[in-house]
Each structure stands twice: as structure tokens, then as C-alpha cells.
Amino acid sequence: MSVVRVNTQPLAGQKPGTSGLRKTVAEFSRPGYLENFVQSIFNALGDCSGKSLALGGDGRFYNRQAAQVILRMAAANGFSRVVVGRGALLSTPAASCIIRKYGLDGGIVLSASHNPGGPEGDFGIKFNGANGGPAPESVSSAIHAATTRLDHYLVLDTPDIDLDRLGTVTLGSTTVEVIDPVADYADLMASLFDFPRIASLLGHRRFHMCFDAMHAITGPYALEILERRLGAPPGTVINAVPLEDFGGGHPDPNLAHAGDLVARMNGDEPLAFGAASDGDGDRNMVLGSGVFINPCDSLAILAANATAIPAYSGGLAGIARSMPTSRAVDRVAADLGIPCFETPTGWKFFGNLMDADRITLCGEESFGTGSSHVREKDGLWAVLFWLNLIAALSKPARTILREHWQRYGRDYFTRHDYEAVDADKAAALVEAVRERLPELPGQCLGGHTVQAADDFCYTDPVDGSVSAGQGLRILFTDGARIVYRLSGTGTAGATLRVYYDSYQRDPALLELAPQRALATLIAAGDELAGISRLLGRTQPDVIT
């Protein structure tokens, strides 16, 4: 076994986005593409000798091959220890859990989250630091800078190892430990929640639930936790076997893509509770009988009731939400008298706040919710939190939601996505709105008067780092808001996201359909940015 030095040259476009580097499988499998990026991660870390890594991914096409390459490169770069999930599998929250539990120096997670998989689909790599969280912007920038000046990578000349057998293998001077990808995570969940209480809820003859793993990574985790440890009836977890192409589906847990679950919730025998997770297990969607629980509301409800859960019985240090997320959780934080932080889109901004004990819970409108138990959003954790809450409060999910609105008022929220639009046109559209921001205050748009308008800029309260250009905010005097931003995770053209929210306290107006409640705002948002005119799209591709 010898270390081979392979000459290479920089490849364009290896810039991590909202959540690591995401490209098509075709691009990732170009000669040297994966190797260049992995070597750039290692170069950005400095001297890797003696360091340790976690490694695993969501099981999508190219996951296994990529894992073998990364192991050979880690060995050639001097890592002393790599902990890898059996089958090269690890959900994103489980990777975070393992980095923290075993005190590793970081981890590489192979995932393109909810993007479609298979040979024609997407692939991705994320690097997480020693706190278990996504690399902060400073590290991502250093990785990108390293990609632009790379001239060689190192790889050990050795065959593939058997990643399906638990145990320890030596690669050069690197110890590779193949571990059960589920056990540590399941133990962590058992330490946070009241498992006996959840088990008795799941054993109740009138409580029927379904968890849709969407043929992605959470299948094995949900089977172990919900069916084996908590005793839910067999069949509670559907689409439980991870497939390289997610069964041809789109593993994004929302009403548009979790079709099997939605059908069961609305069938002849409607279920009391339904949930789904995404490709890499960090997102969650939660449904009560006859109701969709918007992720913004879900975060607010978890925060308002956190002391009913063993892990949070002592209260919360603070809460954070991404900027486009509705302000429902802000009302809870104000009520609890704890701080509420507004961060840019992407989980990496929550890590510093958690490491400094400034927040305990956080979330994003994009079906991401989490707490300081790990440094990633966590799909199954959110589902278990809801189950524990339903059991502890002895109320169905829909009642918990309704009572929350009655107490705090309702923040109507929707996001409209225009996918795969021409990147130049999308950038020009956003730029045109940005130029108009100073003139907007005082203007009336669709019956709403603009109070303030800005391009969101975040100063991290812990390390003072500044992230500018994080989305255009139009705030109205009646509490409504429109946000425009371009996605940082797509791989085809650009995706324009437009977020709308408004606040309603009138008890008679709490049950409207969000698209109806927000209709005048939506029309104003389309008009202001000229979406139909400039993009030639009359309807969004996805509404959540």
C-alpha cells in the first residue's frame, strides 16, 4: 500500500452552497471531481495527521463509491481514525451525533438532502466540524479557496474495503471502524424523550400513525426507534428501505412529494398522526388528523411546550429561526422571556449560538427543526418530540395546533418556489427589487403599506462575523412580510423562493387556507418583482 500523489488542476464551480457542495452525479463522477473537492477539504483543515473523521451518507447513487475514495484519501492524508456507518450510511443528524459522542475532529456527510437521486440525479458532500455542525462560512470559504489552487491530491493505492461488515479495518496507518449507523442515534433519542410514555401512546388502540421514510435514510432509524424500541405496530413505517434512487421519488417531506403519507392521512380510516423525513433524515413534516402543521408553527409549538419533555424540562436558553421563517416562534420567546435570534437561511448559523449556550431550539420554514442535542436539524427528533407532546398533554396534534393559534394568534405562511429558471433572469429580477428597496417605505402594495425594506445582513453575535446579501425583506405596517431570495442548493439554473407571511389575531379568522389568507400579499409580491413578466412563469412550481 503506497501513497500516490496524483497531479490535478482546479475545477471550476466547487463552491459550497447553503449546505455543502451539491452537483449532478454526472458532474461528481467526472475524473478527479470528487477527489479535488475532498483534498480541498483536507487542505483547508491543515495538517490532518492524527485527526479523526466520521463518514457516511444518505445511501443515494454514488454514495458507496464516493465513500471508498474518501477512505483511501483520508488514509493517504494521515487521518488516524475514520468512523463509518455500515454500508457507508449515516443520516445527517446521526453523523452529528457520532462526531460529538466520539469526540471526532469532524465528519464528511455524503448527501444532496431532498434533491432527487439515481444516476440522473444529484449528489453532494458536506463537511461538519468538531462540534458536529455544518462548516461555518469561514471554513466553507477556505475549502473553496483551496479548490482554486489545487495541484495534486493524495490517495492510498489499496482495494475497496468491506463496508457491510461491522468491525475495524486498517488502511495504511488509519483505523477504519465500521459501526452500526443507528444505535448511537437511537440511544440519544431515548435519553431525551419519555420513551415509556410514547410507547403507551403508540400501543393505544385508537392512536394510529404512519411515518413515511420516502425510501431514504430514515427507514432503518424509524424502524428501530418507532417499531422496535417503542413498539409501534409493524407497517407504521412505510417506504422504509433506502434505495439509491429513492424509488424514483423526490425525498422532500412536503404535501407535494409525500403522496403515500397524504393518501393515508385522508383515507377511509384517517390516522391521528403522520410524519415524513427527507433524503438524509434532517427534515420533517408533521400532520395531525385533517391538518398540516406548518414547520414555522411546529417550531413555535415545540418551544411553547418544551418543558413537557424530559430533556427540556428545565426550560430553554433561547430560540433561533432563519430569517424567512415566520415570526410565530418570536411570540413564544417573548412570552417566555427568552431571546430569539434571526439568522440567515441554512443550519450553519445556529451552531455558534448553540455552542455558546445562547439557544436550545431552532428551526427553518423548510421543514427543519432541531435542538442542541446535535448540531444539525433532525427529522426523527421532531417527530418524537411531537409524539412525546401528544402523550404528555393527552391531546391530539390538531388540538395542540388550534389551541396554540388561539393563544398566540396565527402567522399565516407560504413559500412559492420557481424552479430551474434562467439564472441570469433570476439574478436580474432580484437585483431590480434590491435597487427599489430604498423607495419602498410608505408605498402601498396590494393594500399593505410598506414599513421597511432591506437586504438582510447578519452579524453573528458570538464571533462577530458578517453575512450580507441574505435575502430581500419587505416588511409591512400590518405585520405582513414578503421575502425574496435565490436558493443556494439547486443544481439546474436558479430557483427563486418567495416567502409570504401575515399575522392574524381575530379568533374568527384563524382557520383560513393560507393561500387565501395571503392572496393580496401574493399578488403584491408577484407585481413588485414582475415574476410573471420577467420569468414567464404564471404559477410557482412548488407551494409549501
Total site size for Zn ion, rule CB under 5 A: 5
x/- contact string, 99-118, with ligand G1P (CB under 6 A)?
--------------x-----
**526 interface partner picked from Zn ion, ligand G1P, none, CB below 5 to 8 A per type:** none
Q: How far is the CB of 316 from ligand G1P (least distance, A)?
A: 21
Alpha helices for 166-320 (secondary structure H) = 183-192, 195-202, 218-222, 259-265, 295-304
What residues between 272 and 291 interact with Zn ion by CB under 5 A?
Answer: 278, 280, 282-283
Q: How far is the CB of 366 from ligand G1P (least distance, A)?
A: 4
| Residue 493 interacts with ligand G1P (CB under 6 A): yes or no | no
Kindly tell me which of 224 and 364 has the beta carbon lying closer to ligand G1P: 364
x/- contact string, 66-95, with Zn ion (CB under 5 A)?
------------------------------
**280 interface partner picked from Zn ion, ligand G1P, none, CB below 5 to 8 A per type:** Zn ion
**347 interface partner picked from Zn ion, ligand G1P, none, CB below 5 to 8 A per type:** ligand G1P
Is residue 61 within 8 A of residue 119, CB to CB? The reply is yes
Q: Which of 128, 140, 239, 345 binds ligand G1P (CB under 6 A)?
A: 345
| Residue 347 interacts with ligand G1P (CB under 6 A): yes or no | yes
Is residue 502 within 8 A of residue 446, CB to CB? The reply is no
Spatial CA neighbour of 85 closest among 63, 115, 114, 116: 63
Non-local CB neighbours of 66 within 8 Å, separated by 6+ positions: 28, 34, 57, 88, 110, 123, 125
> What's the CA gap between 462 and 420, in Å, rounded?
36
| Residue 364 interacts with ligand G1P (CB under 6 A): yes or no | yes
Q: How far is CA 134 from the centre of its chain?
A: 11
- The one-character DSSP state at 206 is T
**366 interface partner picked from Zn ion, ligand G1P, none, CB below 5 to 8 A per type:** ligand G1P
* Cross-sheet strand order for the sheet of 52-57: 21-24, 122-128, 107-110, 52-57, 81-89, 174-179, 167-171
| Residue 298 interacts with ligand G1P (CB under 6 A): yes or no | no
Q: How far is the CB of 535 from ligand G1P (least distance, A)?
A: 17
| Residue 502 interacts with ligand G1P (CB under 6 A): yes or no | no
Count Cβ atoms below 10 Å from residue 105 Cβ, excluding itself: 17
Q: How far is the CB of 367 from ligand G1P (least distance, A)?
A: 8
Spatial CA neighbour of 430 closest among 499, 485, 492: 485
What residues between 237 and 296 interact with ligand G1P by CB under 6 A?
Answer: none
Q: Which of 140, 343, 360, 489 binds ligand G1P (CB under 6 A)?
A: 489
Cell of 61: 447513487
**58 interface partner picked from ligand G1P, Zn ion, none, CB below 5 to 8 A per type:** none
Q: How far is the CB of 489 from Zn ion (least distance, A)?
A: 9
Look up cell 379568533; give the residue.
Answer: 507
| Residue 366 interacts with ligand G1P (CB under 6 A): yes or no | yes
Kindly tell me which of 178 and 296 has the beta carbon lying closer to ligand G1P: 296
**514 interface partner picked from ligand G1P, Zn ion, none, CB below 5 to 8 A per type:** none
| Residue 113 interacts with Zn ion (CB under 5 A): yes or no | yes
Kindly tell me which of 278 and 417 has the beta carbon lying closer to Zn ion: 278
Q: What is the DSSP string of 308-365?
A: GSGGGTT--S-EEEETTS-THHHHHHHHHT--EEEE-SSGGGHHHHHHTTS-SEEEET
Residue 309, helix vs strand vs coil: coil
Q: For ligand G1P, which stretch binds (CB under 6 A), given 27-35, 193-201, 222-230, 487-495?
A: 487-495
| Residue 63 interacts with Zn ion (CB under 5 A): yes or no | no
Please report, as a single letter, which amino acid is at residue 474: I
Apex 106 CA angle, 123 and 93, nearest 5: 60
Residue of 19, 113, 371, 372 marked active site: 113
113 catalytic? Reply is yes
Q: How far is the CB of 65 from ligand G1P (least distance, A)?
A: 24
Is residue 182 within 8 A of residue 219, CB to CB? The reply is no
Spatial CA neighbour of 54 closest among 112, 123, 125, 105: 105
How far apart, in Å, are the Cα atoms of 235 and each of 206, 221, 260, 347? 16, 14, 13, 32
Number of residue whose CB is nearest Zn ion? 113
Kindly tell me which of 286 and 474 has the beta carbon lying closer to Zn ion: 286
Non-local CB neighbours of 290 within 8 Å, separated by 6+ positions: 265, 270, 398
Residue 192 bridge partners (DSSP): none
| Residue 174 interacts with Zn ion (CB under 5 A): yes or no | no
Helix (H) or strand (E) holding 171: strand 167-171
Q: For Zn ion, which stretch binds (CB under 5 A), given 112-120, 151-159, 475-483, 507-515?
A: 112-120
Q: For ligand G1P, which stretch binds (CB under 6 A), given 72-80, 206-214, 362-370, 444-452?
A: 362-370
What residues between 389 and 408 interact with Zn ion by CB under 5 A?
Answer: none
Q: What is the DSSP string of 115-151?
A: S--STTSEEEEEEE-TTSSBPPHHHHHHHHHHHHT--
Kindly tell me which of 240 and 390 has the beta carbon lying closer to Zn ion: 240
Is residue 522 within 8 A of residue 414, CB to CB? The reply is yes
Active site residues: 113
Residues of this chain that bind ligand G1P (CB under 6 A): 18-19, 113, 322, 345-347, 364, 366, 368, 487-489, 497
Residues of this chain that bind Zn ion (CB under 5 A): 113, 278, 280, 282-283
